[in-house]
Amino acid sequence: MTRHAVLKMPAIADFDASYFLSTPGAGKTIAELRKNQVIFAQGDNADAVFFILQGRVKLTVLSEQGKEAVLGLLESGQFFGECCLNGIPVRTSTATTMEDCTISVVNKATMLATLRDEPAMSEFFMAYLLARNSRIEEDLVDQLFNSSEKRLARLLLILARFGDHGSSRAIDIDISQETLAEMIGTTRSRVSYFMNKFRRLGFISYDAKIQVHASLLNAMSSDDVPAPKAS
């Protein structure tokens, strides 16, 4: 049986959540998707859980008035579509690939049975849910207490996967200023203003991709990114 190359074969007697999610089988498939493919659309039947093995996925929602908002950008190691496990019958958002992706698709019945019968899978899934909840709380605090300029700086650092090491990191996906604006709750013109300001201050630069420099992280840490007059 084929499997995702980066994961190791577990011992036969043990259940390995990563191996389970990276191999096709009963109730599971591995989908290879191209950039900008719709994985599911808002209103579709919700009958499976998805796990990103490689690539990034954008979640969006469309209001009754036709306005689209970006709910989040997901990357490898993250689940999405899990609301079906809670009895929600239709998709409440649209999931679209932002680059070529490898995604594990586990149907609802198989996922529920595995969570029930395999403690290791339950622990793996619970760890994801707790981490996501912490991220949601951080995002809420960011929206409530930080200016749009600081929210943009934080988002750029997240998109560049900026950690404690390295002096410059590229945002390795194409993302428009309009999408950035939707994600931080401001206008595209404000994002354009802040991006030009960050570039002028040496926090970011443009090559083939947006390069995020350590100076932006340092500015955020030392509170040197001033709040604008209007957010």
The two most distant CA atoms of the chain are separated, in Å, by 61
Element (H, E) at 56: strand 56-62
User: Residue 166: what pLDDT?
Assistant: 61
CA distances from 19 to 1, 28, 50, 127 (A): 12, 12, 15, 16
User: Residue 8: what pLDDT?
Assistant: 44
Element (H, E) at 218: helix 214-221
User: Residue 90: what pLDDT?
Assistant: 97
User: Residue 193: what pLDDT?
Assistant: 96
- Give the contacts of 231 (CB within 8 A, at least 6 positions apart): 147, 148, 149, 186, 190
User: Residue 6: what pLDDT?
Assistant: 42
Query: Which pLDDT band holds residue 5 (cuts at 50, 70, 90)?
Result: very low
Judged against a pLDDT cut of 90, whether residue 197 lies above it is answered with yes
Query: Which pLDDT band holds residue 152 (cuts at 50, 70, 90)?
Result: very high
Calculate mean pLDDT across residues 99-107: 97
Calculate mean pLDDT across residues 128-141: 90
User: Residue 146: what pLDDT?
Assistant: 87
User: Residue 45: what pLDDT?
Assistant: 97
User: Residue 198: what pLDDT?
Assistant: 95
Judged against a pLDDT cut of 80, whether residue 230 lies above it is answered with no
Burial status of residue 38 (CB atoms within 10 A of its CB: 0-12, 13-18, 19 or more): exposed
Judged against a pLDDT cut of 80, whether residue 3 lies above it is answered with no
Calculate mean pLDDT across residues 3-30: 74
Calculate mean pLDDT across residues 102-123: 97
Q: For the chain, what is the radius of gyration of the CA atoms? A: 19
User: Residue 163: what pLDDT?
Assistant: 66
Contact indicator for 95, 49 with CB cutoff of 8 Å: no
Q: What is the mean pLDDT of the chain?
A: 87
User: Residue 94: what pLDDT?
Assistant: 97
Calculate mean pLDDT across residues 9-29: 82
